[in-house]
A and B are shown apart, each in its own frame.
Chain A
Amino acid sequence: MQQHVIASSSTNARLRARDLTAEEIAEIEHELTLYPTKQAVGLEALKIVQRHQGWVSDESMLAIADYLSVPVSELEGVATFFNLIFRRPVGDKVILFCDSVSCWIMGCDKVKKRLSEHLGIDYGETSAGGEYTLIPVPCLGDCDKAPVMMVGEKMHRNLSCESIDSLLPLSNAEGSK
C-alpha cells in the first residue's frame, strides 16, 4: 500500500507550479541584478511572465514565487494590486478604454457603447473568439485628446462612434501583450 505523502498545503501547491521558460528566467535574472532584494523583483517578474504568456496563471504565480522564494500569497498581493496584471486569460488584444472625467465629458459613454456593440462584450469580458478584452482605465493622461483608448502600445485619440466603426477590426499588428 503506497501512501500519498505531501507535506503542507504550500508544499502541495508548489508541486503545481509550471516550469518557467528559459527566456523568462533570463529576463528575471537580469532584473535581479537591478534590485537589492529578490522580493523587489516580484512585479517585474509578473510583467515578464505576462509578456510571454499573455496572462499570469496560478501555475505561473507558483513558479515565480518559488523562483524568487517569496510566499505566493505575498506575490498575489502584488499581482492583484495592479489592474494590468491579468490573473485571468485575456483576448489577443486588450483594449484599455478610458472612462475618467475628461473622456466622460467628451462623451466616452457613447463611444464605449458603440465599441461594446461591435465586439459583443462589456467591461471585463473577452470576446467569444478570444480576440478582444475590454477593460476600463481611469485617465490615460491624454485628456486633451479625449475620449481615448489604448491597445497594446498604441493610443487611439479623439474617438467617436464613427472612428470606432472605421478602426475595427483592429489589425493584428496591434497585439496587446
Chain B
Amino acid sequence: MAKITVDGVVYEVDPANNLLQECLSQGLDLPYFCWHPSLGSVGACRQCAVIQYRDAEDTQGTLVMSCMTPVTDGGIYSLAAEQASDFRADVIESLMTSHPHDCPVCEEGGECHLQDMTQMSGHNYRRFDKQKVTHRNQNLGPFINHEMNRCITCYRCVRFYDDYAGGTDLSAQASHHHTYFGRFEEGTLESEFSGNLVEVCPTGVFTDKPFSAQYTRKWDLQTAPSICNGCSVGCNITPGERYGTLRRVVNRYHNEINGYFLCDRGRFGAHYVNSESRLRSARDASGMSVSTTAIEERISEFTSEAVIGIGSPRASNEANFALRSFVGAENYFSGHSDAEHEALQVLIECLRDAAFHSPSVRQIEQADAILVLGEDVTNTAPRIALALRQSVRNEAKALAETSRIPNWQDAAVRELAQESLSPLAVFACGSTRLDDIATTKLNADQQTLIEASNALSERLAGRSPAYSQQTLGTTMQSVEATYTALMSAKKPLVICGTGAGAALMRCAANIARALSVSRSEVCDLVLLPKEDNSVGHALLTSKENTLSRALGRLANGEVKRAIVIENDLFERAPTALVKNALAAAELLVIDQIETPTQRYAALSIPSATFNECEVTKVNYEGRAQLSFQVGEGCDAAKPIERWLNVEGSAHSNSMIARCAAEASDFESLIDCLPDPLGRIAGLKVPRQSHRYSGRTAMHADRNVHEGKQPVDDNSVMSFSMEGMLTQKDSSVLASAWAPRWNSNQAISKFQAEINGELKQGHPGVHLIKRSLNGQAYEAENSVNKNLGDFEIRLVSHIFGSDTLSSHSPAIQKRLCDAYLALNKEDALELGLANGDFVSLGGAEDSIILPLIVRTQTPSGVALVYTGSSALGASINPHDLPESASLARVESEPSVHPTGLGLSNLVVNDAYSGAH
C-alpha cells in the first residue's frame, strides 16, 4: 500500500496501479475516455489530466495524464487545480468539435460516457463554428449500428475488438481529423464478441441494432439481475423490459465470471422471448386452446398412474426439482442425450474430486499454460474463449514485469511482447476459432486425439508413452511441447467439454490428474457442458435414469404417461426412438417455445422464460446463481414449478428453500437468495429507476385508469420505483447509476476497487463439496470404423447450435445451413467441390448435406453441422452414423436450405479456391 495526497486528502492506494484507476477506486470523479478497466492505459485521449507536485514545496506542479502515471508513495496530486481542470475542458472541447448535436436521437443518450464526461469537464458552450468532419457509415450486420460522426477517436473499439478479442475485421483507418473506425468494406462484424462494442464505445458510434428497433431509454427500462441462458458459463446480464417485451441485454459486472464482457449469443440471443416461436397459449393435440383451469385439473390428475418425467438442461433447478418431486425420483429421467448424460457423469465426478479445481473465468485468465482438448470453446462457451485470449498474454505480462513495465501500460506491454504468447495447445478435430493463438495445434481424428492424450498422461506420470507408427511424428511433437509447457507453468489448465464427448473428457481428467500428482498440487480442470443448467439437471438426475431408458419404458408400454419440460427430444435421441416412445404415451409438454416434440403432446403448456420468473441455475463450475424476474411477459405462461403445483411452488423463495432442503448437493442453494425473507434492510428493491417515466400513462391506449402495478411476493425485488436504492446494495444491482455517472462506467462506484468485487457482491454459491479422491480412468482406446469410411464428427456454431438463442430474430440472420465439411484432398478424391451434395452411407434414406471444403479437416474425417432446429432446418444429430461412406449425389439435401446458405459461416479454414 502507498499513501498519496489528492487535493489535500490522504488516500491509501495500490502502488501497482495507475493514478486514474486509483482515483476511481477511491470514488473520485475524474474524467477519462481511452482508459478502460479491462483494456488498460494508452494515454491517447488526454482527458484524464491532473497536476502532479514534486513535493510539498512545489506549488506549480506539472500536468500529467493520470492513466499513464504510476502512483508513488507520498505522491501529491490535484484534480481540482485550475490548470488541470482547464486542460480537461479544452480537451473535451476539441474532441467535441466534430461531434454532432444529436443526443435526442442518439441511442447512447442518457447512458453516454461522453455526455457524462462533457458535463463533468465543464464544457457546455460550443465555440467551434467551422464545418464538422462527417463520415459514411457501414452496414455492420444484424447486431451493430454504425454512426461514425459521433466518434471521438478514443481507440477503445479497436483495442477491444482486435487487441483484446482477437478480431480481424475492424480497424482504425486514415489519420488525424478523419480517422475512421470500420471494416475494409461493409459487412457483418465477424467477431463473436462484437456486441461489446456497444458498451466499450463511450459514445453512440456502435449501438445495439435489435434494441434500436424497439428502443427505450435506459431510465425507462425495467431491469433486474439475471443470468444468461446461452451456455454453461453463466454470465451475469441485465435484461431491460418495457411494455411487456424484452428490449435488450447488457453486461452485468461479475468479477469472477464475465467481468465487463458478454458474447453475442448471450447479448442478442435473449430476444427469443419475444419471438414468433414462443408457445403463447396452451393447446391440446388438435391445436385447440385450453383454459388454465382445465390444464390445472389435467395436471393434478396426471399422477393417478405412473408418470415419467423428462427433465431439461435448459430448465431451472426449481423446474427440474418440481418435476422430480411430481413424478418421484425413480421416474425422473435425464433430458440429456445418452452421450451427454454419460459425459456429464464424468464432469460431476471431476467436480467432486479433490485433485481438481474448476477455475472461474477470471482464474482462467490467469492460467499460463493451457491444453484445450477436443472442444471448440469459442462456439460452445464463448466467454471462456475470450478469457483464453487473455491467458495467452500472461507471457507478455511476465516479460513486462522483467522489464519493469507495469501491466496496465497496454501499448508498451504489447509492443514489448510482439508475438510472444503463453503456451496454448489445442488438440482438436479440425480448425477451432482459437487456432490463431494456439502455440501447439494437433489437428487429428478421434483415435489420434485419444492416443495423444494417453501419451500425454503417460508422459506426465513419468513413463514413456507408446505411439503408433503413423502418428509418431506430429503427435509426439505436440505431446512433448504440451508436456513441457504444462510442467513448467505456474498455473497450468486443462479444458475439455461434453462437445468433445465422454471419452476425451476422461482423457482430460487423466491428464489433469497426472499433472496434479506429478506437481503435487490441485490441478485446474474445466469441463464444459453445453447448456445453461446442464450441471443442475444432471445433479438432480440419477445416473441410471438415462433418456433412452425412459423412451424404452414408454415405447414398450410399461409406463403410459409422460411429462416433458422445456425439451425437444428430437435433439436428444434418434428420431425413430423418440417417435415410438411419444406415439405410445399420453404426453404433456411444458415449454417456452414451440418444438416438434409438441406434435405428440396431448397438451402443450407455455412456461415462463428466464426473464419472467425467479430461478436458479448451475454453471460449469458447479456455481449456482439466482436470476430474478425482470418483467411480466406472456400472460398464459407460468414457471413449470407453478404449473405442477408442487408443495412450495407458490413462491420462488420457498421453492428454492425446498430444493435446498431435499435435493442432495443443493444444501447451499438457499444462500443464493440475497435475503430469504424477501427484504433488504426492511425494504423491497425497485426494478424501475428513479427516473422511470410514463408509468401512469403507459397502458393508456387500453385503459385510461392507471393499472395496479404487478405485485411480486416472490422476491426482494418489486415492480416499482420505490424502495431501497440498489445503489446502496450491489448484491441486487441490475443497472449501475451514480450521480454524474449515467453510463455503464458507473460500475466503478460499486466495486470495492476497480476490477474488484462488488461492494456487497453476490457471486453465487458453489454447490459441490470436493471430497473424493478419484482414480484415473481406464485409458481410452479405439474408435470403430470401417476401412474407407469417414469418421463423422459434429461441430458447433455459436449461432445455431443452441436451441433458445436460435429463435432470436437477430441471431437468425446469422445462421447458416447444415453442412458437411471435408478437407481439400478428401473432397478431390471423392470428386466433390464446394456446394455439391454428399450422401452419408449411400442407402436410399441416407442423409444428404451440402459440402463445404474446410482445409483443416483431418483426412478421413467428415465434420457435420446439423443446422438449426429453430428454422426447421436441422437434422437430428442422433440419426447420424458414427462413420459412413460418402458419395456425391444429385438429389436434394435432407435439410431444406434456409436461404441463408453458408454465407454466414465464420470459420478459419474455409477454402476459397476455385472448384
Contacts and interface: CB of A to CB of B under 8 A. Distances in A.
**Chain A: interface residue count, which band?**
20 to 34
A9 B190 contact: yes
A72 B190 CA distance: 13
B12 to A, nearest CB: 43
Contacts of B907: 7-8
B587 to A, nearest CB: 37
A53 interface: no
A163 interface: no
A140 to B, nearest CB: 19
Contacts of B185: 13, 58
Interface string B166-187: 0011111111000010011101
A19 B903 CA distance: 23
Most buried by B among A8, A71, A74: A8
B771 interface: no
A6 B902 contact: yes
Interface string B399-438: 0000000000000000000110000000000000000000
B839 to A, nearest CB: 15
A11 interface: yes
Contacts of A4: 835, 901, 903
B851 interface: yes
Nearest to B892: A1
A21 interface: no
B213 to A, nearest CB: 23
A6 B907 CA distance: 11
A33 interface: no
Given A2-B835, A11-B910, A61-B184, A71 B902 contact: no
A72 B174 contact: no
Interface stretch (A75-83, A89-97, A108-116): A75-83
B906 interface: yes
A73 B189 CA distance: 12
B852 interface: yes
Contact of B850 (A5, A11, A37, A76): A5
A3 B171 contact: no
Contact of A9 (B187, B419, B819): B187
Contacts of B852: 5, 7
B184 A72 contact: yes
Nearest to A72: B184
Given A5-B850, A7-B852, A8-B907, A74 B175 contact: no
A14 B914 CA distance: 11
A9 B892 contact: no
Interface in A34-80: 37, 58, 61, 71-74, 76-77, 80
Interface string B815-837: 00101000000000000001100
Contacts, number: 87
Contacts of B168: 10, 71, 73-74
Interface in B196-214: none
Most buried by B among A9, A13, A15, A37: A9
> SS class of chain A's interface: helix, strand, loop or mixed?
helix
Nearest to A83: B175
B173 A80 contact: yes
B850 A3 contact: yes
A76 B183 CA distance: 9
B897 interface: yes
A13 B905 CA distance: 14
B274 interface: no
A80 B174 contact: yes
B645 interface: no
A61 B183 CA distance: 13
A73 B850 contact: no
B420 to A, nearest CB: 12
B892 A74 contact: no
Contacts of B902: 5-7
A5 to B, nearest CB: 4
Given A74-B168, A81-B175, A10 B190 contact: yes
Contacts of B905: 7-8
B366 to A, nearest CB: 28
A86 B901 CA distance: 36
Nearest to B819: A5
A13 B190 CA distance: 13
A76 B171 contact: yes
A172 B162 CA distance: 45
Nearest to B915: A5
A76 B910 contact: no
Contact of B910 (A8, A58, A73): A8
A148 to B, nearest CB: 23
B775 interface: no
Contacts of A11: 910, 912
A80 B902 CA distance: 31
B542 interface: no
A71 B169 contact: yes
B910 A7 contact: yes
A79 to B, nearest CB: 8
Contacts of B892: 1
A73 B171 contact: yes
Contacts of B854: 7
B184 A76 contact: yes
10 contacts: A6-B902, A6-B910, A7-B910, A8-B905, A9-B188, A37-B418, A61-B184, A71-B169, A73-B183, A74-B162
Please give me the 8 A-B residue pairs with the lowest Cβ-Cβ distance, nearest first. Answer: A7-B910, A71-B168, A5-B835, A73-B171, A7-B905, A9-B187, A77-B171, A11-B910
Given A6-B910, A74-B162, A76-B171, 19 more contacts: A3-B835, A3-B850, A3-B901, A4-B835, A5-B834, A5-B852, A6-B901, A7-B854, A7-B910, A8-B190, A9-B903, A12-B912, A58-B184, A73-B184, A76-B173, A80-B175, A80-B180, A81-B173, A81-B174
